[in-house]
Amino acid sequence: MKDYKEQDALVLFSGGQDSTTCLYWAKQHFRNTFALCFTYGQRHSQEVENARRIADMSDTPFQVLDASIISRLAPNSLTDFTVQMDEEKPADSYPNTFVPGRNLLFLTFAATIAYAKGIRHLVTGVSEADYSGYPDCRDTFIRSANATLNLAMDKQFVIHTPLMWRNKKEVWHLADELGVFDMVKNETLTCYNGVLAEGCGHCPACRLRNKGLQDYLVERGNKL
């Protein structure tokens, strides 16, 4: 990856493992990094507070944007406490943790803010490997959205997806390469039940994260 040390980047940031790894990746490749965090009626407001804390720890300007309209349009298990979360992906549909339109909306908001700030580079932690099957995490969608945003705003945005082809084990490896393995392990919040670091251990996000960590530690030659 080429360095853009003369340019700035806006990171779509939630304070989870993936976007925190992306934040530090961006800090290594760009002059200034800005963090943008969306609220959309998540089950756990501490997700936002934790994101703010990590931004502070890493000296990153932090902005919160209210995108809660999305949860009023399409109820899902991330925003509606009365919906039981799918533990597995149903055979013929997406798990109810899927928020339709979310990433397209978030990228549009992010590009609008980047436009106003004169920022060209957007960074998002979506991944096609180990993902839950969400269509708006795929590389083809990101390329399409990038083209659309450029046409819509007559700009040359570049959407960076450093995790696109990395499974969870490889995301841990990247955090280690960036020198923030312990920080990501101890300070990020990925768990759907709002438990910091290792999390509750049984929700889909925890199982994916902890399996990847275990695999990475085995590869690295030490155990948990």
Per CB under 5 A, residues contacting Zn ion are 191, 193, 199-200, 203, 206
Cβ–Cβ < 8 Å for 132, 204:
yes
- Closer by beta carbon to Zn ion, 99 or else 191: 191
Contacts of 210 (CB under 8 A, 6+ apart): 198, 199, 201
Q: Which tokens sit at 191?
A: 């768990």
Nearest distance from C-beta of residue 123 to Zn ion, angstroms: 25
Nearest distance from C-beta of residue 79 to Zn ion, angstroms: 17
Task: Provide the b/e sequence for 85-122 (b: ≥16 CB within 10 Å).
Answer: bbeeeeeeebbbbbbeebbbbbbbebbebbbeeebbbb
Nearest distance from C-beta of residue 203 to Zn ion, angstroms: 3
Distance from chain centroid for Cα 137: 10
- Closer by beta carbon to Zn ion, 108 or else 193: 193
- Closer by beta carbon to Zn ion, 16 or else 162: 16
- Closer by beta carbon to Zn ion, 162 or else 199: 199
- Closer by beta carbon to Zn ion, 70 or else 191: 191
Nearest distance from C-beta of residue 60 to Zn ion, angstroms: 25
Q: Which tokens sit at 149?
A: 């945003």
> What is the residue whose two structure tokens read 């990475």?
216
Nearest distance from C-beta of residue 210 to Zn ion, angstroms: 9
